[in-house]
Structure 1
Amino acid sequence: MAAAAASLIGTTLVKDNKNSCYSSTYSLLLNKRIHPFSLSTSPPPIRALSTETSVETNKRSKVEIFKEQSNYIRYPLNEELLTDAPNINEAATQLIKFHGSYQQYDRDERGGRSYSFMLRTKNPSGKVSNQLYLAMDDLADQFGIGTLRLTTRQTFQLHGVIKQDLKTVMSTIIRNMGSTLGACGDLNRNVLAPAAPFVRKDYVFAQQTADNIAALLTPQSGFYYDMWVDGEQFMTAEPPEVVKARNDNTHGTNFPDSAEPIYGTQFLPRKFKIAVTVPTDNSVDLFTNDIGVVVVSDDNGEPQGFNIYVGGGMGRTHRMETTFPRLAEPIGYVPKEDILYAVKAIVVTQRENGRRDDRRYSRLKYLLDSWGIEKFRSVTEQYYGKKFEPTRELPEWEFKSHLGWHETGDGLLFCGLHVDSGRVKGITKKTLREIIEKYSLNVRITPNQNIVLCDIRRSWKRPITVALAQGGLLPPTYVDPLNITAMACPALPLCPLAITEAERGIPDLLKRVRGVFEKVGLSYNESVVIRVTGCPNGCARPYMAELGLVGDGPNSYQIWLGGTPAQTSLARTFKNKVKIQDLEKVFEPLFYHWRLDRKAKESFGDFTNRMGFEKLEEIVDKWTGIPKSSSRHYLRIFTDKETYEAVDALAKLENKNAHQLAMEVIRNFVASQQNGKSQ
């Protein structure tokens, strides 16, 4: 493979006698640059091959070797895509991630593996044009499994594409104003921002900033377009401030004369995540990102600069306490004209000092944990060329779903729609297609796996509302509050990392939680943030949930408690290896005592933190059932079988039971009557 790589890259690979391995002198020279300062106080780093000093191969992970020998993420993927095999080899499997795809196989099938590919788009701020949405909808039917999935990073995932169709699908996405470049791999992923299309200055500025950061950190070497559209360029004109910031090497951030001035041949040690938002709006789960950026405005609403937070991340490994989820912490404030330079400096600090020997410890959060914020700030300031100012005081955070009907501020409307686990399928898919196509609507994807219909005229509101209702897409007041904030990763059957169910299991799980709520006397409008993942990597951000379930064995979960509704606190492990059939044994005593012992308006997460895990363990271990004096009796709603079956059929469209739907209708009717009388 090394010899083939040498031929492709156009360089000479020389034998390294010390390691008996191959190293590319070409890649070392390509990345030569002068450091602005010496990191003499740093722990011995695994460098990004940024000097002529060779790095011993046995100190780098296998993926680092693949990247170095790939000719900027081309080889051997370009050759593997031409073979008749349904799959690609190990090196190509790692490289195709940079192009926005993962190789998968159906784990439900027995016998030989049935390989396919998952494609993930890249949509800064979750923006999806009308043209791209319709193209993705078509591709799901023609080349996928007939469904689209909205992700927790505001993108589409398209599952089930076979290798022979990859180029057709990729080129179709590109030619319809879309991209999958950098949606996966060791580089900056999709940049989040609130999905609401408000025309308020701060929201517009946050979304523009997300677009600019995404453009700044987009790969420049052309490998993506070479592979999928034969080198044809579809990149739109970039704002001059983005080009200027990328090319600036005043403080030694760039690799001169490199096809990748920021990334070099090695790109980043691991994936890198960034979110931008405005004060109070934590729809983006700000503190779970490597970099969190918050717009700071003056008293007149004019954006002046940004608070910046660093070091968040969710992934961990079971039974390895040296791996952990972590919240981002403040590094400082920068004026608005400096944001691209500050972000670039943080990325370069991670590029140069993040570990490249063990990918479990390669995220920025581990560098922050090792160095501490003061040292990290000091090093980053060398690349930034300035001191960070103190962060500005901000109001408290809230989770904002942006569901329902809203005015944008320019005479138009938008409508946020809840989609269970982000899976667009069946009648929901058909209905969305018809509405988006008929009214030429653009859409946005939210970080909570929901969809926002944009650019709606007032005269369209009524017919769109009727069409949505006929397709089972009801206003948020008709959706179970538990479902509104719940999230799950895809997990089985396609994710190779999944240990147990998540997306397929969460509908039944939420019904069971609702059943426990009713049993212990909690009202219907009570809610808890529930997130479920099939493994500890945390793709649905379970470590921020009030109740997180993390797969740790077949039909078994870790239970995490202590997150808050605003997603500002980190949950902690409460129970290990709870079998799925035993979950009520934990839920029932916890929810019963939350109802009985909480303070006024105290959330479940705040309650668990105040009580402490030792006390909660005692409550669960000694639980013998709800005291008889606390039992509740419900009126019988249905008097005939026909009515029950009709309501139950409607309820199933919303993932509810007949009792839940009937109670919703009654409560809404009573509320409307009371509101009418008060007027």
Structure 2
Amino acid sequence: MSTTAASSIAAANTALVKDPKLQLKSFNGFRKNASYSSTYSLLLDTRIHPFSSISSSTSPAVIRAVSTPAKQETAVQTKRSKVEIFKEQSNFIRYPLNEELLTDTPNINEAATQLIKFHGSYQQYDRDERGGRTYSFMLRTKNPCGKVSNQLYLAMDTLADDFGIKTLRLTTRQTFQLHGVVKKDLKTVMSTIIKNMGSTLGACGDLNRNVLAPAAPIVRKDYLFAQETADNIAALLTPQSGFYYDMWVDGEQFMTAEPPEVVKARNDNSHGTNFPDSAEPIYGTQFLPRKFKVAVTVPTDNSVDLLTNDIGVVVVSDENGEPQGFNLYVGGGMGRTHRMETTFPRLAEPLGYVPKEDILYAVKAIVVTQRENGRRDDRRYSRMKYLIDSWGIDKFRSVVEGYYGKKFESPKQLPEWEFKSYLGWHEQGDGRLFCGVHVDNGRVKGEMKKTLREIIEKYNLNVRITPNQNIVLCDIRSSWKRPITVALAQSGLLPPTYVDPLNLTAMACPAFPLCPLAITEAERGIPDFLKRIRVVFEKVGLPYNESIVVRVTGCPNGCARPYMAELGLVGDGPNSYQIWLGGTPAQTSLARTFMNKVKKDDLEKVFEPLFHTWKSMRKSKESFGDFTNRVGFEKLQEIVDKWEGIPKSSSRYYLKLFTDAETFEAVDALARVQNKTAHQLAMEVIRNFAASQQNGKSQ
């Protein structure tokens, strides 16, 4: 390319960046011009990387994009996935979505379907229907730390009734999902969320997703600092080009003022991290190769499943409790593809330690390393975990240090991790209380939804969503505890002591009927799975207070993090599941595939020998996950294969709630009529009695 031509493109490029209206006008002009595909693509590609090289040969220009490894010297442009082309030609995630939203059709085209993800939405259709397709959209909010203001909660509750399917779903990334919004209502719903202190920007798409942090509103220096850091990382990695507000509120800006340290870190280009003069200084035109996840927490608190994230950030404090810096972990991720051993779940590993004032620069350096080197040809391998697996942690650390401008210190030693649910009542540390409420599968609906709204509205409470799909009511005065407890119980939201222990840690993805990737049931199937597991527990003689971490997904993408479960069920065919074993209660061990293609109706044939062997051979207080890892899968498979039923010496009536077999038989018969276990029926009777007693005393 001649110097004159290159200068002209550079000038046009700068003009487009500085004037959003000119961007769209010029884009549409190029699109209508016959030479659009080559000219505009070249203009965009020159912006992909500040150090892009352009061939001067007579063959078509060769652009070295961010996904092309520097070591590859070739005259052929690196293959890119279709989504990369959509992003490149979108005028920063605007076109053709802006045009598709104006059509009368109930759906949008393929390119727009990919682009709307960056706006926090997925196009879906009801897979239970036969014949034609009824299209709708799922919207996902972005709530760093799971924080939801009173105003936003009430707005989301109303939107679910007026424009959705009258339910809200709490996700494993501390956000809301609103299902069933039709295309003509998208702008109304989106603008309402924005105007009520919410956002869906970046909740989906190839960029940083919602940043996790402990949901507990504990007034303690390390917790407050972790949550502040999560907010700052979320702000740092939020898109800057304005496409979101252009689309949904006609360009009006609703963003709050950012901390100066965030603005400074974003604009810093002292180590070649930024695209100069770009509307997206960190992301450029291509954004990231795939989604990117960050979690921040404090030592011991693994409520965020830290090691499943691309970046895990842990506050390190001195002996006086003053935060000093952060340990960083990199390379976690859950997604995989069935029968492709080159795809796999992976745990994050230690990268190093940084002082607290450097955290934004270190995070930015990691993101840029993935941006520059993550694969863009095959989206199955585009997550950062594959880059680290390919390079090794030492090479990855060296490249990140080049963008960071410093060497990482060695990670600081930390205590053991534990899972914390924050269910039930707790002191905040400022004289007020918070209450963690268990929500089965995160699905807020019916009487529960009505009661939560009444409580949140009456007491003007802010809330937080947990990474385990539960909700935390914050800033509660002690005098409100009793009436709130009674109101929750009457709607079925019981204190954790009255909930089956299996349910307290179980999670499932939505799967059918709306997820296009689902192979089999998950959310709709897990209630029955948990009942069946409880029945097997009873049959083999495990006590009612015994529990394991169960997670179910309808496909291998791992949205409910099944690969960290003690017992993971991953859909691999119609009514068929892979069984994964070996995760631990603290969420620090990766599960492994134990069996494939187990039919739903045959699960007890696997559960019974496994749970009976665990009860018989476990060490003192040994968890199921630790037990399966100690015994080994080969031995466990042999036990399952040779299983002939529970030995006659085993007690059938190991139920502490009952004193004799006759009582058990009577309750069991009644429970079966109601499709319940004897334990579940007995617990319901006790819960109802306790609730009526509480209600009587309060009147």
TM-score normalized with structure 2 length: 0.89
Residue aligned with 2:142, SS = coil
Q: CA deviation at 1:24?
A: 1.7
Q: CA deviation at 1:21?
A: 6.4
Residue 357 (structure 2) pairs with residue 340 (structure 1): no
Q: CA deviation at 1:368?
A: 0.2
Q: CA deviation at 1:643?
A: 13
1:277 to 289, 297, 300: 297
Q: 1:493 to 1:621 in 2, by over 3 A?
A: same
- 2:487 matched residue in structure 1: 467
Q: In structure 2, what residue type is equivalent to 1:573?
A: T
Q: 1:610 to 1:440 in 2, by over 3 A?
A: same
Residue aligned with 2:399, SS = helix
- 1:415 matched residue in structure 2: 435
Q: 1:180 to 1:250 in 2, by over 3 A?
A: same
Residue 66 (structure 2) pairs with residue 47 (structure 1): yes
Q: In structure 2, what residue type is equivalent to 1:272?
A: F
Q: In structure 2, what residue type is equivalent to 1:536?
A: P
Distance 2:283 2:74 in 1: 18
Residue 333 (structure 2) pairs with residue 299 (structure 1): no
Distance 1:55 1:62 in 2: 21
Residue 47 (structure 2) pairs with residue 27 (structure 1): no
2:96 to 41, 51, 76: 76
Superposed counterparts of 1:222-233, under 5 Å: 222-233=242-253
Q: CA deviation at 1:140?
A: 0.4
Q: 1:175 to 1:5 in 2, by over 3 A?
A: closer
Q: In structure 2, what residue type is equivalent to 1:27?
A: L
Superposed counterparts of 1:498-577, under 5 Å: 498-577=518-597
CA offsets 1:286-322 (integer angstroms, 9 cap, x no match): 0000000000000000000000000000000000000
2:209 to 189, 211, 231: 189
| Further displaced range: 458-467 or 634-643 | 634-643
Q: CA deviation at 1:609?
A: 0.3
Q: CA deviation at 1:197?
A: 0.2
Distance 2:373 2:234 in 1: 22
Q: 1:608 to 1:14 in 2, by over 3 A?
A: farther
Distance 1:98 1:15 in 2: 29
Q: CA deviation at 1:377?
A: 0.2
CA offsets 1:152-179 (integer angstroms, 9 cap, x no match): 0000000000000000000000000000
Distance 2:237 2:29 in 1: 26
Distance 2:405 2:538 in 1: 58
- 2:147 matched residue in structure 1: 127
Q: 1:54 to 1:72 in 2, by over 3 A?
A: farther
- 2:405 matched residue in structure 1: 385
Q: In structure 2, what residue type is equivalent to 1:472?
A: G
Residue 516 (structure 2) pairs with residue 496 (structure 1): yes
Q: 1:135 to 1:234 in 2, by over 3 A?
A: same
Q: CA deviation at 1:631?
A: 2.8
CA offsets 1:547-575 (integer angstroms, 9 cap, x no match): 00000000000000000000000000000
- 1:676 matched residue in structure 2: none
Distance 1:264 1:11 in 2: 20
Q: 1:50 to 1:393 in 2, by over 3 A?
A: closer
CA offsets 1:207-263 (integer angstroms, 9 cap, x no match): 000000000000000000000000000000000000000000000000010000000
Residue aligned with 1:465, SS = helix
- 2:7 matched residue in structure 1: none
Superposed counterparts of 1:304-453, under 5 Å: 304-453=324-473
Distance 1:663 1:162 in 2: 41
Contact 2:668 2:678 in 1 (8 A): no
Contact 1:99 1:184 in 2 (8 A): yes
Distance 2:603 2:529 in 1: 9
Contact 1:30 1:257 in 2 (8 A): no
Contact 2:585 2:625 in 1 (8 A): yes
- 1:165 matched residue in structure 2: 185
- 1:262 matched residue in structure 2: 282
Residue aligned with 2:603, SS = helix
- 2:5 matched residue in structure 1: none
Contact 1:562 1:572 in 2 (8 A): yes
Q: In structure 2, what residue type is equivalent to 1:121?
A: T
- 2:59 matched residue in structure 1: none
Distance 1:432 1:136 in 2: 12
CA offsets 1:379-430 (integer angstroms, 9 cap, x no match): 0000000000000000000000000000000000000000000000111101
Residue aligned with 1:356, SS = coil
Q: CA deviation at 1:96?
A: 0.1
Contact 1:46 1:60 in 2 (8 A): no
Contact 1:6 1:12 in 2 (8 A): no
- 1:217 matched residue in structure 2: 237
Distance 1:288 1:642 in 2: 43
Q: CA deviation at 1:47?
A: 2.2
Q: In structure 2, what residue type is equivalent to 1:8?
A: F
Residue 649 (structure 2) pairs with residue 632 (structure 1): no
Ranges in structure 1 where 5+ consecutive residues have no aligned partner: 36-43, 671-679
Distance 1:642 1:543 in 2: 37
Q: 1:330 to 1:380 in 2, by over 3 A?
A: same
Q: CA deviation at 1:132?
A: 0.4
Residue 109 (structure 2) pairs with residue 92 (structure 1): no
Superposed counterparts of 1:472-491, under 5 Å: 472-491=492-511
Ranges in structure 2 where 5+ consecutive residues have no aligned partner: 1-22, 53-62, 691-699
Distance 2:384 2:513 in 1: 30
Distance 2:256 2:441 in 1: 32
Q: 1:410 to 1:372 in 2, by over 3 A?
A: same
Contact 2:222 2:323 in 1 (8 A): yes
Q: 1:468 to 1:477 in 2, by over 3 A?
A: same
Q: How many residues align?
A: 651
Q: 1:615 to 1:124 in 2, by over 3 A?
A: same
Contact 2:232 2:262 in 1 (8 A): yes
Distance 1:6 1:33 in 2: 25
User: Identical aligned pairs, as a percentage?
Assistant: 82
Distance 2:187 2:77 in 1: 33
Q: In structure 1, what residue type is equivalent to 2:111?
A: A
Q: CA deviation at 1:27?
A: 1.5
Moved beyond 4 Å, runs of 4+: 4-7, 9-17, 20-23, 48-51, 53-58, 636-645, 655-658, 663-670
Q: 1:529 to 1:175 in 2, by over 3 A?
A: same
Contact 1:270 1:362 in 2 (8 A): yes
Distance 1:92 1:281 in 2: 40
Distance 1:435 1:661 in 2: 28
Q: 1:266 to 1:662 in 2, by over 3 A?
A: same
Q: In structure 2, what residue type is equivalent to 1:571?
A: A
Residue aligned with 2:122, SS = strand
Q: 1:32 to 1:313 in 2, by over 3 A?
A: closer
Q: In structure 2, what residue type is equivalent to 1:192?
A: L
2:137 to 117, 126, 135: 117
Distance 1:166 1:462 in 2: 40
Alpha-carbon RMSD = 2.8
Residue aligned with 2:46, SS = helix
| Further displaced range: 26-35 or 347-356 | 26-35
2:615 to 595, 616, 640: 595
Q: CA deviation at 1:16?
A: 10
Distance 1:417 1:665 in 2: 21
Q: CA deviation at 1:587?
A: 0.3
Q: 1:57 to 1:68 in 2, by over 3 A?
A: farther
- 2:696 matched residue in structure 1: none
CA offsets 1:5-44 (integer angstroms, 9 cap, x no match): 9952665899999xx9676222233345249xxxxxxxx9
CA offsets 1:601-633 (integer angstroms, 9 cap, x no match): 100000000000100000000000000111322
Q: 1:603 to 1:478 in 2, by over 3 A?
A: same
